[in-house]
Structure 1
Amino acid sequence: MNNLATIVVMGIGATATMDLWGIARKPLLGVPVPDYGLVGRWLGHMARGRFRHDAIVTTSPIRAEGIIGWTAHYVIGIGFAALLIALYGRAWLQNPSIGPALMVGIGTVAAPFLLMQPGMGAGIAAARTKNPASARVQSLLTHSVFGVGLYLTGLAIQATGSL
C-alpha cells in the first residue's frame, strides 16, 4: 500500500473506532451519540461567511448538513492519521506502538476545544455548556479512543503485510 492509501485506511479505521465508542457510550455512560450534522451546519455556515454561533442547535439548518458533517468527520480523521505518520514516520507503521498513537489522539482534542466548540457556541473547552467538566472528559476519552484506533489500525495494516 502506498503512503496515501495507508493514511486513508488508518484515518478511516481510527475514526470508525471512535464512532463505535460514540455508540457504546450511550448505554454505558448515558452520553448521547454525537450529532455530526451540527458540524456540517457549522461548516456550511462558514461557506456563507459565518464562523461563530451562539448555539449551533438554534442556527438555521443547511442543506445536506449530515453528509457534510460526516464527510468532514472522516476527512479530519484521515488528516490526523497523516499527522501521526508525519511525526513518527513510516517506521511507526512497521512497528506500531501505542504511545505515539495515543499522544496524537489525545493531542487532537485541541481541535474541538479551541476551534469547534467555540465556533459552535459551546465556548473554549466547552466552558459554556451545562457541565463543562463532563464535556471535557468526554472529549478527552473520545480522542483517546481515536488514538487507540490509530494503533489498532496500524497493527492491522502491519499484520496484513500491506505496507
Structure 2
Amino acid sequence: MLWEIVWRGTVMGIGGTVFMDIWAIILHRLFRQPAPNWGPVGRWFWHLPKGKVFHDSIATASPYEHEVALGWISHYAVGILYGIILAMIVPQGWFAAPSFILPWIVGIVTVGAGWFLLQPGLGIGWAASRTPNPTKVRVLNLVAHTIFALGMFVAALVIR
C-alpha cells in the first residue's frame, strides 16, 4: 500500500512538474515572459540547513557553486512531494477513475508554499508583494499551479 502511494505520487509529481515546465517554455517563447531561473531557489535551499529561511534578497546571500542544479532538483523534489501528498489523500478507488478536482485543489493549495514561504524566503515579499507587479505574479502562480494540477491528473489517467 505505501509503495503504491509513493510510486503513483512520484509519477503524478513528475507529470505535474513537467507540465509546469512546458507551460513556462510556452510563456517564454510565445509571450516573452522571463524563463524560470532555478539558481535563486537552489541558493535558498542551500541556506535552509544553515537556519536562514528569509532573506532580504537572495541575490546578496552567499552563492553556491551548484545552485542552478540544486534549484532544478528541488523543483522536481517538491513536485514529487506534492504528488505523494495527493496520492495519500485521494479516496480509495480514485486511481481507477481519476477526476481533476482533487489535483486542482492540491495545486491551488500549494501556491501558498510559494507565496508564504519561498517568495518571502527569496526576499520578494509575501505573495510577491515586493515585485513590480504582484498581481501579475500571483495570477501567473495560480495558472502555473493549475497547469501542475492538470499534469498530475493526466499522469493519474496514464497510470490508472
The CA distance in 2 between the partners of 1:28 and 1:87, in whole Å, is 36
User: What secondary structure is seen at the aligned counterpart in 1 of 2:119?
Assistant: helix
Q: Which runs of 4+ in 1 moved over 6 A?
A: none
CA contact (8 A) 1:85 1:92 kept: no
Between the aligned partners of 2:6 and 2:120, the Cα distance in structure 1 is 31
Taking the aligned partners of 1:135 and 1:52, their CA distance within structure 2 comes to 19
Rounded Cα–Cα distance in structure 2 between residues aligned with 1:89 and 1:72: 28
Q: Does 1:84 align with 2:69?
A: no
Mean CA deviation greater in 57-66 or 17-26: 57-66
CA contact (8 A) 1:84 1:100 kept: yes
Partner of residue 103, structure 1: 105
Query: How has the CA–CA distance of structure 1 residues 70 and 90 changed in structure 2, closer, same or farther, with 3 Å as cutoff?
Result: farther
In 2: Cα distance, 1:32 partner to 1:17 partner: 17
Deviation at 1:27, TM superposition (A): 2.5
Contact 2:5 2:84 in 1 (8 A): no
Partner of 1:142: 144
Q: 1:41 to 1:90 in 2, by over 3 A?
A: farther
Q: Percent identity?
A: 40
- What is the RMSD computed on CA atoms of the aligned residues? 1.5
How far is the alpha carbon of 1:94 from its aligned partner? 1.1
Aligned to 2:36: 34
CA–CA separation in structure 2 for the residues paired with 1:77 and 1:105: 10
Q: Is the 8 A contact 2:119 2:126 kept in 1?
A: yes
List gaps (5 residues or longer) in structure 2. Answer: none
List gaps (5 residues or longer) in structure 1: 159-163
Change (3 A) 1:48 1:2: same
Among 120, 126, 133, the alignment partner of 1:131 is 133
Letter of the 2:67 partner, please give it. E
Alpha-carbon offset, residue 90 of structure 1: 4.6
The more displaced of 123-132 and 87-96 is 87-96
Residue number in structure 2 paired with 1:19 = 21
Q: Which amino acid aligns with 1:148?
A: L
